[in-house]
Amino acid sequence: MFRFKRFVRSAFFVAASAALLLGHDTSHPGDWKTWVIPSGAAHGVPAPPGMGDTRDELDWVRSAVREMDPGIVAQIRYWDAGPPAYRWMELVTRRQIAGQPVGNFFPRAYAYVAIAIYDATVAASKAKQEYGRKRPAQLDKRIEPRVAEPRSPSYPSDYAATA
C-alpha cells in the first residue's frame, strides 16, 4: 500500500510539472489544450441566469450561509479540502486501496478520470472567461463566504463541472 500511495503522490507531481513544462498560462486555463473535447470553447454551458433569477439565488444564498448545521459545515470542509479534482481522484484511489473494482487496469481508470476532470475544468474556465459572473459576496455585501473565494468568476462552478 505504501508504494501505491507514493505512486499517487508522484502522479500528482508529474501532472503539475507537465503543466509547467508545457507552458500553460495559468492565468487563462480556459485556453489550455484539451484531450478529448475539441477545446474549452466547446463547453456548451448556457449563459448564467438574468438579474431576476440572480436576486432569487442571492436570497437563497443569504439564508443558506446563516445555516450552521454541523453536517452541512462538514460537507463544505470536505469538498473544499483542495482543488475540485482532489476528492474525485481520492475516491478512485480509495477504491483501489480497498480492493473495490475500478476496472481491469487501475492506471487506465485513473487516467480516464483525470482526463475527464481536466477537460471539464478547461471548459468551465473558458465559460468563466466568457460570462464573467461575479461571486455572490461581490454582488451582495451581506453574504459572508464560508470558504476563501477564488479570484475567478463564479459561473460555472469548477466543483460542479468535475462532478
DSSP codes joined into one string, 29-76? GGGSPPSSSS-GGGG-PPPPP-HHHHHHHHHHHHHHHH---HHHHHHH
Whats the size of the chain, residue-wise? 163
Q: What is the pLDDT of residue 77?
A: 86
Following CA atoms 87, 5, 17, 78 in sequence, which dihedral angle do they give, to the nearest 10 degrees? 20
pLDDT along the chain (163 residues), means of 10: 55 52 65 91 88 93 85 87 86 86 78 91 93 92 86 88 85
Cell numbers representing residue 161 in the block = 463541472
Give the span between the Cα atoms of 10 and 48, in whole angstroms. Answer: 38
Q: What is the pLDDT of residue 21?
A: 44
Q: What is the pLDDT of residue 109?
A: 81
Domain count, the chain: 1
Which structural domain, as residue segments, surrounds residue 144?
Answer: 2-162
Residue type at 131? Y
Cell numbers representing residue 61 in the block = 444564498
Burial of residue 80 (CB within 10 Å: 0-12, 13-18, 19+) is middle
Give the span between the Cα atoms of 161 and 122, in whole angstroms. Answer: 10
Q: What is the pLDDT of residue 137?
A: 92
